[in-house]
Structure 1
């Protein structure tokens, strides 16, 4: 119903903002991480929105980016994860960090979100891992940080090579992510270091 709002931040609370547009104030709930990124009272902002309809209320959830919005919609499609839990997850993880957590089957990281238990995190992984592409995750991350594009390409090639050696995508992703900063490494070096982790 509402795709986004452009307006002035009239008020900020710990879990929501009020955006004033055309002399109307809209209460929009956001992830804590995104509230910090959004700005201060008086700033003009654009917030992508999702209208959640309950029997007793209409609630607007907001997002600073289309990537956050996309991940929110995927999360609430999981049985047992509602909008509050989805926002809690997006409060501790960026959209691409969440994608990597799902692809590497890292339920421990996802379950750190308030109100999200291990079983809910595992269910999210099981239901979403086939809906998220590793290539798209790397592409989104490199779009956000264009200087990392070459680094992400090397990671993607190393993951493909490890998969061809018989390792699962999640094993390969965990091993490569455990290496930390691999900028400046060629594909062969990344594969050698990742094999030591496996």
Structure 2
């Protein structure tokens, strides 16, 4: 499965982008937030991806962050939420806003997304309420500020959680690593130092 693409942004449309990776153009469907984050044609970009396969279609969905992709996968697991509705929700709400809406039971916030009625919004909030705190974009360590979606820090927290660390521990370790390395630290360095902090 294709998990990530790094290449040149070739062109964009209302809900898609073409990313040129060594001469191969990948059509990637994206939320409005991800399209904004990608920039303009000619920019070097990296997108996290999810491959959606159905009986008569195969499409690659792209995300500016691992946090957004994690939320997409959770959303599409809810009955009645397909990839288009999930992308509409992720266009209307950031990962942090979605986390707050689900953990706080705020269906009206989710219903702001195009094509999402009150009934579906209620089902999404009810089904994802218990899972919201464990995802990137969650509140993490007590008193810690939520990490911006798409940032190296949010991706580092996601990486640590994938390795089995609890969200609070992952967030705290990344916050300490950010303090030592500074805001512009490369993701690899951030993950390496955060791992040492979390394991210690």
Query: Fold conserved (TM > 0.5)?
Result: yes
Q: Which secondary structure does the structure 2 equivalent of 1:142 belong to? A: coil
TM-score (ref. length: structure 2): 0.69
What whole-Å deviation, never above 9, does each CA across 1:107-142 have from its counterpart, x for those lacking one?
111111111111111111111111122796113953
Alignment of 1:158-197 (within 5 A): none
| Distance in 1 separating the partners of 2:56 and 2:19 | 22
How big is the shift at 1:104? 1.1
Shift in CA distance, 135/65, structure 1 to aligned 2, threshold 3 Å: closer
Tell me the number of residue pairs that the alignment of Structure 1 and Structure 2 aligns.
146
Alignment of 1:1-198 (within 5 A): 1-133=1-133, 137-139=138-140, 142-144=146-148
TM-score (ref. length: structure 1): 0.69
How big is the shift at 1:57? 1.4
Q: Which secondary structure does the structure 1 equivalent of 2:146 belong to? A: helix
**Higher CA-based Rg:** 1
Greater helix content: 1
Once superposed, which parts of structure 1, at least 4 consecutive aligned residues long, lie more than 2 Å away? 139-146
* Unaligned stretches of 5+ residues in structure 1: 147-198
Shift in CA distance, 132/118, structure 1 to aligned 2, threshold 3 Å: same
How big is the shift at 1:37? 1.6
The answer to whether the 8 Å contact 1:31/1:90 transfers is yes
* Unaligned stretches of 5+ residues in structure 2: 152-200
| Distance in 1 separating the partners of 2:26 and 2:101 | 33
